[in-house]
A = this chain, B = another copy of it.
Amino acid sequence: MRAVLDSARRHLATSGADSLSVRAVARDVGIVSSAIYRYVPSRDALLTLLVIEAYDDLGGAAERAERAVTRDDGAGRFLAVCGAVRTWALEHPHEYALIFGTPVPGYAAPQETIGPASRIPSLLLGILRGSPRSQSERRLDRGGTAAKAVEPLRDGLGSGLAPDELARGLNAWTGLLGAVSMETFGHFTGVVAQSPRVRKAFFAEQMIALAGGLDLFDL
């Protein structure tokens, strides 16, 4: 089982999910393709395992980066998470694509992925919860729309936060993923200079503008 997972992870990392074939994994492990099905019920199930691993790996990286920042520096904690997500995505583009890219048609993320998947959202909301700036006068909610929209979060991840804060947190999350996805998926070619240093600095500016625009923290 270990060998199967290791090989699958390697194939995913180097060639992407499309070219992860159970036959290739079998060849790698040194057994015949049908024997793989002793360990994993299907290719989709194998991908699900990798999805969970990816979420956990990314979540762990983000949590480590966030922990390294002084507790009362909300903006710094937020930017640390952003930077960790971006770095991880650029280092693991295929894993990133697997979890945040095109959903596989006919494949619904099973129950056991939602836990690992919510590590970063939970981290972000935790930062927001600890931020003294969480009562912003630049309210986003107009006429209770946001309250209705983020209702599913009320008793779960978002407990203890006002609807307006939740909405702004969600905006931060989508803004972060948007920036990282564009760069990771190659939509910056011909638009943003390729130099890694410039791109990193530009991303930092983007995230500062994002946090500032949403009035997430005292900056």
* A contact residues vs B (CB 8 Å cutoff): 15-19, 94, 97, 100-105, 109, 114, 121, 138, 140-142, 145-146, 148-153, 167-168, 170-171, 173-179, 181-182, 185-187, 190-193, 195, 198-199, 201-202, 205-206, 209-210, 212-215
Contact = CB atoms under 8 A, between A and B. Distances in A.
Q: How many copies does the complex hold?
A: 2
22 contacts: A16-B102, A17-B102, A18-B18, A97-B103, A103-B185, A114-B190, A121-B191, A142-B205, A146-B202, A149-B192, A149-B193, A149-B199, A149-B202, A150-B191, A152-B191, A152-B192, A168-B209, A178-B178, A181-B181, A212-B213, A213-B214, A213-B215
Contact of A210 (B114, B145, B171, B187): B171
Given A105-B15, A149-B193, A151-B193, A177 B171 contact: no
A33 B174 CA distance: 42
